[in-house]
Amino acid sequence: MKVQYQLLHKDKETGARRGTITTNYGTFDTPMFMPVGTKATVKMLTPEELKDCAAGIILANTYHCWLRPGEDIIAKAGGLHKFMNYDGPILTDSGGYQVFSLAKPKDITEDGVYFKSHIDGQKLFLTPEKSIEIQNKLDSDIAMSFDECPPASASHEYMQKSIERTLRWAARGKAVHKNENQSLFGIIQGGPYEDLRKLSAIETVKMDFDGYSVGGVANDGEPKEDMYNAIRYSTPYIPEDKTRYLMGVGEPLDIIEGVILGIDLFDCVIPTRLARHGNAFTKDGKINLKNAKYKEDFTPIEDDCDCYACKNYTKAYIRHLVTSNEALGGRLLSIHNIRFLIKLTEDIRKAIEEDRLLSFKEQFKTRYEKIGKNR
């Protein structure tokens, strides 16, 4: 089946959406944060642990699965769900984001993109058709269109050419999309330019995808307001009965802002990446467990957190694991950080239901920013 978005309630002040998405592998609530399983594994964790975090859906990277182990092996295994033993919804990206970070500008042609494998330097070529073909074989619940991901700093002229090509690529991908059990989402690009976001959104929606994402906002270093504007310029053109997915965004305040601007779905590597560096999200900002002040801190990361790490381990123990390079440390922090972002979306959902998302945002922000981001 194709995914079905159901709108349950809109926050009276902001219009933020509380809904559900129904997939082949069950229904989950939105807004939702989606943990990233780059190489068909959310780093260090099992499917059971992700479910304990109340993950509604996870993301796997087409580029990485294509290179290793290869989409044919995953297809022979019976698709991604069976290969990685995950019986919940899975979304695959198009590979575009990874490929463009490896390709040089001259390697981007109308036909597709030439680039070198990050594993062995082998020269590879990815096209819209190939991306869809790989995703069909991976058999994810949601596939993404192959798009160009120019930097937000690209000129208006370049960006216009880019989104026009991305529209042609979207049409080419849609034409070859064969998997009846898989939905296909279109991607809205256009950088910081209002007219281009509008153009990209309207033309993408005309192609009638099963859902839509706002892309090109997770580039490093751009001002937050640019990100929020890119969303603001894109979402009004997306039909209300379709999912809106903001790609690559996982900072707590950005999730709240994204929801206010109409987003349903988020993904980001940040919870697992922070974890591997000893960092934990808390409602009082991020903390680094390597800090000596946690040496004899026999309290959990957060007293009121319901995650496995907080229910069973102290900061002193996790600090010991992290400073001793013991993998269990990163594993416990990954669980906590993923649960933190998913719990945040639960709190957001409740706030929408009760029409108080703006006051929730103010409360959360005041506390989160009080001490500073890196204690």
Closer residue to a second copy (CB): 128 or 329: 329
Rank residues 100 and 317 by Cβ distance to a second copy and give the closer one: 317
Measured CA to CA, the distance from residue 126 to residue 112 in angstroms comes to 6
Cite the DSSP H helix spans in the chain. Answer: 47-52, 62-67, 71-77, 80-84, 96-102, 128-138, 156-176, 194-206, 224-234, 252-260, 270-276, 308-312, 315-323, 327-353, 357-370
Of 171 and 316, which CB lies nearer to a second copy in the complex structure? 316
Site for a second copy in 61-90 (CB under 8 A): 64, 68-69, 73, 76-78, 83-85
Segment contacting a second copy by CB under 8 A, of 42-50, 212-220, 222-230, 259-267: 42-50
Residue 119 or 221: the one with the smaller Cβ distance to a second copy is: 119
Residue in the block written with tokens 């642990």: 49
- Selected from 224, 295, 350, 370, the binder of a second copy by CB under 8 A is 295
Instruction: Assess contact for 43 and 276: CB atoms under 8 A.
Output: yes
Dihedral over Cα of 123, 126, 130, 134: its sign: positive
Count Cβ atoms below 10 Å from residue 332 Cβ, excluding itself: 26
327 scored as a contact of a second copy (CB under 8 A): yes
Q: Is 44 in the site for a second copy (CB under 8 A)?
A: yes
Query: Nearest approach, Cβ of 158 to a second copy (angstroms)?
Result: 35
Nearest distance from residue 338's CB to a second copy, in Å?
14
Question: Which amino acid appears at position 80 of this protein?
Answer: L
**φ/ψ (deg, to 5) at 16:** -55, 145
Q: Does residue 331 touch a second copy according to CB under 8 A?
A: yes
Among 158, 316, 346, 358, binds a second copy (CB under 8 A): 316
For a second copy, which is the closer residue by CB, 64 or 177?
64
* 267 catalytically annotated: yes
What single string gives the DSSP state of each residue in 164-210?
HHHHHHHHHHHHH---TT-EEEEEE--TT-HHHHHHHHHHHHHT--S
- By C-alpha distance, which of 131, 182, 235 is closest to 3? 182
Shortest gap between Cβ of 327 and a second copy (angstroms)? 5
Residue 107 is a catalytic residue: no
Q: Could you write out the DSSP letters of every residue in 37-92?
A: ETTSS-TT--HHHHHHTT---EEE-HHHHHHTT-HHHHHHHTSHHHHHT--S-EEE
Closest CA to 168 of 189, 154, 153: 189
Please, which residue, 45 or 287, has the CB nearer to a second copy? 45
Nearer to a second copy, 4 or 46 (CB): 46
Compute CA distances 149 → 10, 108, 145, 219, 243, whole Å: 31, 11, 12, 9, 21
CB of 178 to a second copy, least distance (A): 23
The residue annotated as part of the active site, out of 93, 139, 147, 210, is 93
| Among residues 17, 18, 43, 339, the one that binds a second copy under rule CB under 8 A | 43
- Would you mind telling me the total number of residues written for the chain in this entry? 375
User: For residues 113-132, which are near a second copy according to CB under 8 A?
Assistant: none
Peptide bond into 31 cis (omega under 30): yes
| 361 belongs to the binding site for a second copy (CB under 8 A) | no
| Residue 40 sits in the site that holds a second copy (CB under 8 A) | yes
**In angstroms, what is the minimal distance from the CB of 42 to a second copy?**
8
Q: How far is CA 118 from CA 19, 111, 130, 234, 273, in A?
A: 39, 22, 18, 32, 19
Q: What are phi and psi of 159, to 5 degrees?
A: -60, -40
Least spacing, CB of residue 90 vs a second copy, in Å: 14
CA 268 to CA 336: how far, in whole Å?
A: 15
Instruction: Work out whether 291 is an interface residue with a second copy (CB under 8 A).
Output: no
Q: How far is the CB of 341 from a second copy (least distance, A)?
A: 20
What residues between 144 and 203 interact with a second copy by CB under 8 A?
A: none
Q: Which residue, 249 or 321, has its beta carbon nearer to a second copy?
A: 321
Q: Which of 141, 147, 254, 267 is catalytic?
A: 267
Catalytically active residues are: 93, 267
Q: Using CB under 8 A, list all residues that contact a second copy.
A: 39-41, 43-46, 64, 68-69, 73, 76-78, 83-85, 295-296, 298, 312-314, 316-317, 319-321, 323-324, 326-328, 330-331
